[in-house]
Amino acid sequence: MKKIAIIGAGISGLYFANLLEMDSGFDYKIYEKRRILNLDESYGIQLSVNSIKLLNKIGFKNLAASEISCPNKVNFFDAKNKDKICDIDITRFNEESNRYTTLKRFTLIKFLLEKIPDSKIIYNIELKNVEYMEKLNTSFSNNITENFDYIVVSDGVFSNTKSIIKRKDIGPKFFKSVALRGNLKTYNNSDISIFMGPNFHFVIYPVNQNKEYNFISIIKKNLSKKQLEDKKLFENNDFLQSLISQINQNSFIDLNDNLENIKAFPIFVSEKLEIINKKNVFFVGDSLFSFPPSFAQGASQSIETSNDLFEDIKNDSHTYYKQRINKIKSVNWRSKLNHLAFHLKNPFFIFIRNISLKYLSKNERFLKTYLGKIYRS
């Protein structure tokens, strides 16, 4: 029986563990540096059909319908005057029980934890070193040492394990943007709505059938290294209010009394794809590559990478990284293009963007190429 160490208990690591639970040929343990997983965060995530199809393999379709939402459209608006530009019918990509889904992140995490025995997850522990011998001799904090056949790294965009494995400091790049996240107290729309403004955009969508709505805004913001290292800055009321004011002044919405569970954080993305040439050591999810958030593929790609790696290990095919490179490039450039288009401030370019969106949103060939190749892969 092959032994696998999973480093990190996020979406990618937990999904990978679920696949291992279904296969008797593997034993595994999950090593999580946090003392406990936070299941109280109420913010939302989007899951496109490519990931729902994979989640349904482990029973996601049996989740209570009240805990998720399945939007039919993505609506595009001008943030200033709330004029609707166009919409895209995303049901065209659905397949039977595989439907575009929005939900709370902790709903997905709780589902992924259900079939994993408590004894399989060790908390408050970090990987410290790996020696490449006949097996992977792995040292952790708390003076724990174990041998594994495989190591799967899934500890997120700020992966410290990546630096340990590569024997050099590897960190993500600040995307010169800040996210403002929360839950809207009052809103009423069952679809996904994207509002585009100068140097910012925000997205609103339901996360269940209980009229709870996720709000996420991406705002252009240049911050110094000192500011980025100041964790208290993103909890500072004046800083939060400055972000809210920027949105209020340039859009139809008034967030002052309508946004709760507010959280702000800087956005970091992968600067380049780091391929690991060490035998039987693999990265998945954001630790492999973290995308700009403007294509809403972070969670879906985390699930995809874990599924691809599981199939690669199971079949001993050694094609995992080769498979992922083109997909990563495709999602990354779409994410950057969306970000650019959503944040335009020049009236002429905004006019061109809006005309283009109206045409492309109904162009079958474009939709199959731009969205279909990602959603249906």
Report the percentage of the chain scoring pLDDT > 90: 89
Strand residues in 159-212 grouped as ranges (E): 173-184, 192-197, 200-206
- Domain with 96, as residue range(s), is 2-171+270-375
What whole-number distance in Å separates Cα of residue 128 and Cα of residue 43? 32
Look at residue 377 in the predicted model and tell me its pLDDT.
67
pTM summary value? 0.96
Indicate whether 320 belongs to any domain: yes
What whole-number distance in Å separates Cα of residue 19 and Cα of residue 305? 12
Task: List the strands of the sheet with 213-220, edge to edge.
Answer: 84-89, 73-78, 192-197, 200-206, 213-220, 173-184, 259-269
Look at residue 168 in the predicted model and tell me its pLDDT.
85
Indicate whether 139 belongs to any domain: yes
The CATH number of the domain where 99 resides is what? 3.50.50.60
* CA quadruple 258, 261, 266, 272: dihedral sign: negative
278 — pLDDT class (breaks 50, 70, 90): confident
Report the number of distinct structural domains present in the chain: 1
Q: Is the pLDDT of residue 263 over 70?
A: yes
Indicate whether 309 belongs to any domain: yes
Indicate whether 256 belongs to any domain: no
Pairing verdict, β 281-283 and 150-153: parallel
Indicate whether 211 belongs to any domain: no
Look at residue 37 in the predicted model and tell me its pLDDT.
85
Q: Is the pLDDT of residue 277 over 80?
A: no
Indicate whether 80 belongs to any domain: yes
**Cα-based torsion angle of the residue sequence 270, 276, 281, 285 in order, rounded to the nearest 10 degrees:** 20
What whole-number distance in Å separates Cα of residue 251 and Cα of residue 81? 7
pLDDT digits (tens, 9 = 90+) for 128-162: 999 998 899 999 998 999 999 999 999 999 999 99
- The DSSP H or E segment spanning 162 is helix 160-166
pLDDT digits (tens, 9 = 90+) for 290-322: 999 999 999 999 999 999 999 999 999 999 999
What whole-number distance in Å separates Cα of residue 377 and Cα of residue 373? 6
- The DSSP H or E segment spanning 245 is helix 237-249
Q: Is the pLDDT of residue 40 over 70?
A: no
Indicate whether 338 belongs to any domain: yes
Segments in 72-145 forming alpha helices (H): 105-114
Question: 346: which 2 tokens?
Answer: 């020049």
Indicate whether 311 belongs to any domain: yes
